[in-house]
Amino acid sequence: MDKKLNIFKIKLYALAILVLLNNSCTTILTTRERLNLSENKILITLDDGPSELQSVDNEILDILKQHNVKACFSLVTYKLKGNGEILKRIISEGHSIAFHSRNHELYLTKSLIQFESEKQEFEEVLYQEIGYRVKITLFRPPVGILTNSFKNKLTANGTKILYATHNPTDTFINKNSSPKYIENLINYFDKKKGGILVLHNGSELFPRPTEYDFIDVNSAANREWVPEALEIIITTLKNRGYQFVSIDELL
Ligand SMILES: [Zn+2]
């Protein structure tokens, strides 16, 4: 599986470079300064959830609650089903939700009408799971890539893009490689004086992981190391004087 993942990683970077060279595309990567996010402030975002393991999301929510940190969860439509309790917790505990596609597919050829209908479907499934309606205005494009023209259409339509200030490669990290990754991530945010941090509580690797990968602690699809990582990140950066903010500070 590791070999397969490495090949995929290389292919993904090659695709990203090709797409960007084409000049008609952009990424959601930006700097803290361009976001007007003041120094020493960090927004935590969690992608590709709800997690395949509900215990992962519950632990993450416990940690966020303990530290009084309001995060933003980028969720995929097909994963909402059966996760009503987690979704209710996310909302009732003051976190935000971003639409992150139906099936983690790219938005390179889709129309605004398609996007709107997919976002509506997301809101509908969310409603079925939690029993009340929530309007979603935030969007994090899968893999962080979208065309310039689509980005302009989204913005004109009132959709807010959820940016990131680092290239998140934690999807390729497993429990064994996580300590080094966390250390590098903390140092990066310290050097950049804050920003929007991305961690993945769910797995959308390609080829799609099997049930076995989700429970195998040596697989990058297993996200059980993420709650502890979050605890270390929040504690360390708080001790260094950083403040964790909600998305409201950026909108
Ligand atoms: Zn994603």
User: What residues make up the domain containing 18?
Assistant: 2-249
Ligand 1 centroid to 182 CA: how many Å? 19
Residue 18's pLDDT band, with cuts at 50, 70 and 90, is low
Query: Model-level pTM?
Result: 0.92
Which pair of structure tokens corresponds to residue 135?
A: 């309007």
Give the confidence band of 3 by pLDDT, cuts at 50, 70, 90: low
Here the CATH number for the domain that contains residue 86 is 3.20.20.370
Are 174 and 219 contacting, i.e. CB atoms less than 8 angstroms apart?
yes
Would you say 230 and 198 are in contact if contact means Cβ atoms under 8 Å apart?
Answer: no
pLDDT at 16: 64
- Alpha carbon of 154 to ligand 1 centroid (Å): 18
CA of 147 to the centre of ligand 1 (A): 17
Q: If you measure from the C-alpha of residue 193 to the centroid of ligand 1, how many angstroms do you get, rounded to a whole number? A: 25
Give me the number of domains the chain comprises. Answer: 1
- Quick one: tokens of 247? 């998305």
Strand positions, DSSP E, the chain: 25-27, 41-49, 72-75, 96-99, 138-139, 145-147, 160-161, 194-200, 243-244
Give the confidence band of 251 by pLDDT, cuts at 50, 70, 90: confident
Compute, in angstroms, the gap from residue 103 CA to the centroid of ligand 1. Answer: 10
pLDDT attached to residue 207: 86
Convert the pLDDT of each residue in 54-63 to its tens digit: 999 999 999 9
CA 243 / ligand 1 centre spacing (Å)? 25
* Centroid of ligand 1 to alpha carbon of 39 (angstroms): 27
Ligand 1 centroid, distance to 245 Cα (angstroms) = 21
Q: How far is the CA of 206 from the centre of ligand 1 (A)?
A: 11
E strand or H helix that includes residue 195: strand 194-200
Q: Rounded to the nearest whole angstrom, what is the distance from the C-alpha of residue 232 to the centroid of ligand 1?
A: 22
Interatomic CA distance for residues 41 and 144, integer angstroms:
22
User: How would DSSP label each residue in 170-182?
Assistant: GGG--TTTHHHHH
What percentage of the chain carries pLDDT values higher than 90? Answer: 86
Interval between CA 130 and ligand 1 midpoint (Å):
22
Mean pLDDT confidence for 64-93: 98
Cα–Cα distance measured from residue 51 to residue 35, given in angstroms and rounded to the nearest whole number: 28
Q: Are 37 and 12 in contact (CB under 8 A)?
A: no
Per-residue pLDDT at 205? 87
CA of residue 12 to ligand 1 center, whole Å: 13
Strand 96-99 to 72-75 pairing: parallel
